[in-house]
Amino acid sequence: MTLFEKIIAREIPAKIVYETSDVLAFRDINPQAPAHILVIPKKVIPRLGDAADADAIILGKVLLAAAEVARREGIDQTGYRLAINHGKDAGESVPHLHVHLLGGRSMAWPPG
């Protein structure tokens, strides 16, 4: 089980901010912005490149959940960034697809 599967199963505590039957969102333990929330599908998809056509609906639900969490966090009007890391060189540390929702501060471009 990945760390995120353990959070979904409530075996590891997390500061959950949003949940549906398909999606879970919780605060990152090492925040890179005042609002830094991870939005994950409850279905295990290791990374975006492993998603299949059958995962299109859940991928859409993850993005819609991120937008809803941004509204709830009050950062939808000032702006926020969504990031999906794929692979070691991109900084992926948990092999479970997750979207980083970052906001609450000005961000530079290009990132990182």
Among all residues, which ones are annotated catalytic? 98
**Assigned domain for 13 exists:** yes
Residue 67 lies in a domain: yes
Domain membership of residue 32 (yes or no) is yes
* 61 Cβ contact partners less than 8 Å away, ≥ 6 residues apart: 20, 22, 23, 41
Is residue 75 within 8 Å of residue 4, measured between CB atoms? no
Other CB atoms within 10 A of residue 45 CB: 19
Dihedral of the alpha carbons of 28, 31, 36, 41, in degrees to the nearest 10: -30
Residue 24 lies inside a defined structural domain of this protein: yes
pLDDT tens for the 112 residues of the chain, in order:
999 999 999 999 999 999 999 999 999 999 999 999 999 999 999 999 999 999 999 999 999 999 999 999 999 999 999 999 998 888 888 999 999 999 999 999 887 6
- Position 47 scores a pLDDT of 93
- Between CA 67 and CA 103 the distance in angstroms is 12
Domain that holds residue 57: 3-103
DSSP lists the bridge partners of residue 100 as 38, 83
Does residue 112 belong to any structural domain of this protein?
A: no
pLDDT at 54: 96
Asked if 100 and 92 count as a contact pair (C-beta separation under 8 A), the reply is no
- Per the structure, how many domains does the chain have? 1
Q: What pLDDT is stored for residue 90 in this prediction? A: 84
| Residue 108 within any structural domain of the chain | no
Residue 111 lies in a domain: no
Q: Domain holding 36: CATH number?
A: 3.30.428.10
Decide if 21 is inside a domain.
yes
